[in-house]
Amino acid sequence: MTPNAASASSGPSRRSFLASTAVATAAVAGGMPLLAACGGSGSGSRDGTTSAKDAKKILPAYVASNVVKPDIPARNGSAIGFTSKLDLATLKTSVTKKLGKGGKVTIMSPFWGSPPKQNNAYYRAMNDLIGVDVVWQNQDGNTYDQKLGAVLASSDIPDVVVVPGWNMNGKIPSAIINKFADLGPYLSGDAVKEYPNLAAIPTDAWQRSLFGGKLRGLPQPAPYVPGIVPLYRKDIFDKEGYEIPRSADEFMALAKEITNAKAKRWACLDMKWTAFQTFGVLSGSEKPLWWNLVDGKLVCRIETEEYLEALEWARKLFAAGVVHPDSELGKNAPDPGPKFAAGEFLIYPNNITQWWSRTAEQATQNPEFKVWGMDIWGHDGGNPHLWADQPAGIFAFVNKNASESVIRDVLAVANVTAAPYGTKEYMMTNYGAEGTHYTLKDGVPVKTDKGNNEVMNAYVMVASPAATLAHPDFPDVAKGQVMWQQRMGAFTKKSSFWGMQITEPGRYTNLGNDFEQLEDDITRGRKKISDMQQAVSDWKSKGGDKLRDWYMKILDENGSAAS
């Protein structure tokens, strides 16, 4: 679609161009128009993106599922929300026929928290439901990137490997294209209808699953509203009369007020990710999202003024002594859960899913405990400028050497895990077995200790339904989460490469890898802002500027998603 190159210098005109033509290929799901990427560097090539014409032939058909109508429909890029009481007696069945053929499937997946032992009741119950013997190889999610490369280079790759987009550094994209199976023959077009729950996955999530011109990933659809929320202890805030901060200065004042190291209380953990959000820094989650077209020129997040300002503010927090000392340890810091529950710190930024999981963990022993999400503030007290996350960020891939029966078994797993809310399959995937992992209290499922230990990560990592927020045990949390997403979604914009699955050329993939480390060094006072400026100028000369040209070409050929 070269005609579009004519409008290369202007974001908005590119968007209207897309709106008029590309949407033809799009199934609109959850209010998000599909970004149709055209051109690219041609199909089958190792870098670039997949053209709309090619994508059209590969993408699975979309068949909406309407098992249960959401109480809160998706808006502003939020998930759909369910807040009314769920009648567990009349749960629907979305998988009428057990599709698994009883084979064995090994799955390596990142795991955040302490994994349960193998062959536990949850895994057995899920395997029974699916008809496949899934064996989990859970690896620490925080250091997953450090294992992935070695596992993929070995000759012993598990049948399924789950890869988050933010781990696709270095030669991992090459590994994905070379080591994982093309699922097109099983899922493209109408073929997907054999797996109705997969057919109900929004097309923009499938679009993101195209790697090297082939459909290789089983996606986890995600809301495009940023996933990281500043979580805080609402119970303590209410008791002490703390007010939610509305600016960077207010946060600092509050943090100083909260901190009392003598009593083992600090205000927060490392607030770097919140700092990036409040200062309007371009998304750091996936390399293509680092870029945005500004006045006809692509700008990378690390080149912006806001990036340095955010780091400086996060550094000030450390310097002021309001950050819990565990945060000094960086990625080696222990799981924040227990110390958050103990009130050693009151605020920490993390994925929105922890809003609920921390609540559920503490519900029985600690009824006072209440965690809530802060609205993200603009650093100057105004509205924040947020940048959209990708509509699918985590993918499950099938080993290229897997036999057809293994692939079918994997799809059987995915078809169960992608079951929508309101079905027996969803309940089993997310809550485990009744009586073992949750009990009914006033008609509401309440997780048992066993449930909290065993029903974590694992199956939900394979494929999931359209982004859903539903917690029958804590409907107010579900409501809080969806409303947060919708309020924040109103301030969220899409950057130029949103929605595309882009593979950077091999020689540039490591260019930006060391910035995260440098950020952490700066916020902890080990390096200076001037070191960052030096690193950015090195980055430019070592290939950053060439990478900019490379991205510009993709933009010229495919158009922008910017909003």
Interacting residue ranges for other proteins, rule: CB under 8 A: 145-146, 149-150, 152-153, 155, 169-172, 174-175, 178-179, 261-262, 264, 324-326, 328-332, 344, 401, 506, 510, 513-514, 517, 520-521, 524, 526-527
- The residue type of 434 is E
User: Is 373 in a helix, a strand, or coil?
Assistant: strand
**Other beta carbons less than 10 A from residue 375's beta carbon:** 16
99: left (phi over 0), alpha (psi -120 to 50) or beta: alpha
- CB nearer to other proteins: give 173 or 280: 173
Q: Cβ 256 to other proteins, closest distance in Å? A: 16
- CB nearer to other proteins: give 42 or 506: 506
- CB nearer to other proteins: give 125 or 269: 269
- Distances 45 to 208, 213, 547 between C-alpha atoms, Å: 16, 7, 17
Q: Cβ 170 to other proteins, closest distance in Å? A: 3
- CB nearer to other proteins: give 89 or 150: 150
Q: How far apart are CA 427 and CA 437, in angstroms?
A: 11
- CB nearer to other proteins: give 5 or 153: 153
Q: Cβ 336 to other proteins, closest distance in Å? A: 12
Q: How far apart are the first and last CA of the chain?
A: 21
**Other beta carbons less than 10 A from residue 323's beta carbon:** 25
- Distances 145 to 54, 170, 286 between C-alpha atoms, Å: 30, 10, 14
- Cβ proximity of 513 and 169 under 8 Å: yes
- CB nearer to other proteins: give 137 or 448: 137
Q: Cβ 509 to other proteins, closest distance in Å? A: 8
- CB nearer to other proteins: give 112 or 438: 112
Q: How far apart are CA 42 and CA 54, in angstroms?
A: 9
Buried b (16+ CB within 10 A) or exposed e, 338-355: ebbbeebbbbbbbebebb
Its sign, for the CA torsion 137, 143, 145, 150, is: negative
Q: Cβ 344 to other proteins, closest distance in Å? A: 7
- CB nearer to other proteins: give 145 or 303: 145
C-alpha closest to that of 426 among 440, 415, 442, 435:
415
11 burial level (CB within 10 Å; 0-12, 13-18, 19+) = buried
- CB nearer to other proteins: give 165 or 499: 165
Q: Cβ 165 to other proteins, closest distance in Å? A: 16
Dihedrals φ, ψ of 117, to 5°?
-75, 160
148: left (phi over 0), alpha (psi -120 to 50) or beta: alpha
Q: Cβ 348 to other proteins, closest distance in Å? A: 14
Q: Cβ 112 to other proteins, closest distance in Å? A: 17
- CB nearer to other proteins: give 168 or 461: 168
- CB nearer to other proteins: give 364 or 533: 533
DSSP notation for 104-120: EEEEEEEE-SPPPPTT-
Q: Cβ 329 to other proteins, closest distance in Å? A: 4
Q: Cβ 424 to other proteins, closest distance in Å? A: 40
**Other beta carbons less than 10 A from residue 178's beta carbon:** 12
Which pair of tokens denotes residue 146? 């450090």
Q: Cβ 517 to other proteins, closest distance in Å? A: 6
- Distances 84 to 347, 473, 482 between C-alpha atoms, Å: 29, 10, 13
